[in-house]
Amino acid sequence: MTLIKSISGIRGTIGGTVGDNLTPIDAVKFASAYGTWLKQQRNKENYRVVVGRDARISGEMIQNLVMNTLVGLGIHVIDLGLSTTPTVEVAVPMENADGGIILTASHNPKQWNALKLLNEKGEFLNGVEGEKILNIAETDSMTFAEVDALGKITKNQAYIDLHIDEVLDLPLVNKKAIEAANFKVVVDGVNSTGGIAIPLLLERLGVHPVKLYCEPNGHFPHNPEPLKEHLTDLSEMVVKERADLGIVVDPDVDRLAFMDENGDMFGEEYTLVACADYVLSRTPGNTVSNMSSSRALRDVTEKHGGHYQASAVGEVNVVELMKTTHAVIGGEGNGGIIYPELHYGRDSLVGVALFLSLLAEKKMKVSELRKTYTSYFMSKKKIQLTPQINVDEILKTIESRYANENLTTIDGVKIDFPENWVHLRKSNTEPIIRIYTEAKSQVAADTLADKFIDELKAIAGI
C-alpha cells in the first residue's frame, strides 16, 4: 500500500494507515492544503473550485471528503460528479473558478485514487506551486471558516455536453466529412467516464458507436492502461463488428489509443503523430512532446515546415514549452493530445475529433493511414539499484562518456544518435534508472536498451 506526494498532487491506495495510504484523513489534509494555498494566492472575497471524478469505486467517498473540506474553508464548490480530466480543465475557466480538483488515479488499478490539482486556468500546477501546497500540508497551517462563512456545493452535470460543444465548435473539426464517412467505431471505456463521454461525442459527430465496457461502475474489466496486451477484447470486437476502428481511453480520458480495422494497434505513440499531421496541414507551426516520445512527431512536423522541440517528462513541462514556442499542437507519446485552440491539457475528446477528421478527409482505412508514417519501435526497461548507489553520479558518468554526441540533460540524460536514441531517467521515489530507447526495428531498440543496461551496471559495480 502506497501514498505518493508530488508537486502535481497526491495519489495512493485506498485503506490502510494514515500517512502510508490515501485514507480519508489524507484526502482531507491535502484538500485543506490546496484550499489554503488557493486562498493565499487569489486573496479575494469569494472562492470557487470545480471538482469532478472518474468512475473508480472510491471516487464518490473521496469526492465528498474533498468537497466538504473546501466548504469548511469557505470555498464554493461546483460539483461535476462523474466527469473526465479534460472536462474539469475546460470547466474551470468557463466557470471563472479559482481552481479545480480531479479525483482520479488515471491509468492506475482500481485500488488507487488521487487528487489532481488545477490552477485558475484549468492547468496543472507547476513545481513551485506544488511545493507550497506540500509545505502547507506538512505544517498543518490551515485555518477554517466560521459557521456563517462556510462554502456551498452546486451540482452541474452538463459539462461533458458543454465540453463536446467546445470540441465541435473548433474550426478544424470537420463534422460534415466525418458524418459522410459513416464510421462504425468500437469504444472501450474501461467502465469509467470515457464510456459516457466518447460515445456521446461520436453520436454528435454522426458516428455509430459500439460500446464495450462503457458502464461507469469503476470495475475495470482489464488493466486500465491502454496498451496492446490489455486490449484483446477490443481487438476481437472490432473484427467481429466489422468496425472501421476501435477507440480506447484510460479511466480519466486524457490518454487515447486507436485500433485499426483488423484489430491491430495503431500505436499509442502515433495518436499524437496523426493528430499533429492533420493540424499542421491546416495550421503550420511548431510542436512539442516530451523527451521519451517518438521521433515520428519530429518527422511529421518538419514535413510541414515546422520546428519540433522536446520537453522534460511531465504534462506541465510540455505545456510550458508549448507556450514558449507557440506550438500549435503537442502532447505526450502515451496518447495525450494537447490542442491549445481549446485548452492546455491532454484531451482524448479533441484527439478523437481531430483523428476522425483526418481519416474522413483522406478517405483511408486506419491501417493505410498508419503506413504513411515512418515506423519506429520503442523499448522501455529499467534497472533496479541499491539505495547506497548514487544514481546522479552514474548519469553524470554517462553524460561525460557521450559528451561528443547530441545530448540533452534537462531530464536525466537523452542521447540522440543518427538512427536511434536512448533516454535515461532516475525515479523520484526509488533507486531505479528507467531506460527508454527508440529505433527502426524492435530488435535494434531492445539491443540498444540492453547495451546501456550493461553499461549502467558496470558503472554501478553490480
Name residues whose C-beta falls within 8 Å of residue 183's C-beta, 6 or more positions apart in sequence.
207, 208, 244, 245, 356, 359, 360
What is the C-alpha separation between 223 and 22, in angstroms, rounded?
21
Output the pLDDT for position 45: 87
Cβ-contact 78, 66 below 8 angstroms: no
Q: List residues bridging with 118 in a β-sheet.
A: 100, 124
Name which of 51, 20, 220 is nearest 12 in CA terms.
20
Output the pLDDT for position 460: 87
Q: Supply 321's cell numbers.
A: 514549452
What is the C-alpha separation between 453 and 151, in angstroms, rounded?
54
Output the pLDDT for position 42: 78
Name residues whose C-beta falls within 8 Å of residue 239's C-beta, 6 or more positions apart in sequence.
262, 263
Residue type, 14: I
Four-residue CA torsion sign, 78, 104, 319, 350: negative
C-alpha atoms less than 13 angstroms from C-alpha of 286 in its C-beta half-sphere: 15
Give per-residue pLDDT as tens, 396-412: 999 999 999 999 999 99
Output the pLDDT for position 3: 82
User: Quick count: other Cβ atoms within 10 Å of Cβ 450?
Assistant: 14
The tens place of each residue's pLDDT in the chain, 462 residues long, gives 578 777 667 899 999 999 899 999 999 999 999 999 999 987 788 999 999 999 999 999 999 999 999 999 999 999 999 999 999 999 999 999 999 999 999 989 999 999 999 999 999 999 899 999 999 999 888 999 999 999 999 999 999 999 999 999 999 999 999 999 999 999 999 999 999 999 999 999 999 999 999 999 999 999 998 888 999 999 999 999 999 999 999 999 999 999 999 999 999 999 999 999 999 999 999 999 999 999 999 999 999 999 999 999 999 999 999 999 999 999 998 899 999 999 999 999 999 999 999 999 999 999 999 999 999 999 989 998 887 888 899 999 999 999 999 999 999 999 999 999 999 998 766 678 999 999 999 999 999 999 999 999 999 888
Domains and CATH numbers, the chain: 3-157 (3.40.120.10), 163-370 (3.40.120.10), 377-460 (3.30.310.50)
Output the pLDDT for position 429: 62
Distances (CA, A) of 213 to 94, 142, 418: 30, 42, 43
Which value, to the nearest 10 degrees, does the dihedral of the CA atoms of residues 316, 321, 322, 324 take? 130
Return the DSSP state at 146.
P
What is the C-alpha separation between 191 and 224, in angstroms, rounded?
9
Catalytic sites, residue numbers:
106
Name which of 71, 73, 55, 53 is nearest 63 in CA terms.
53
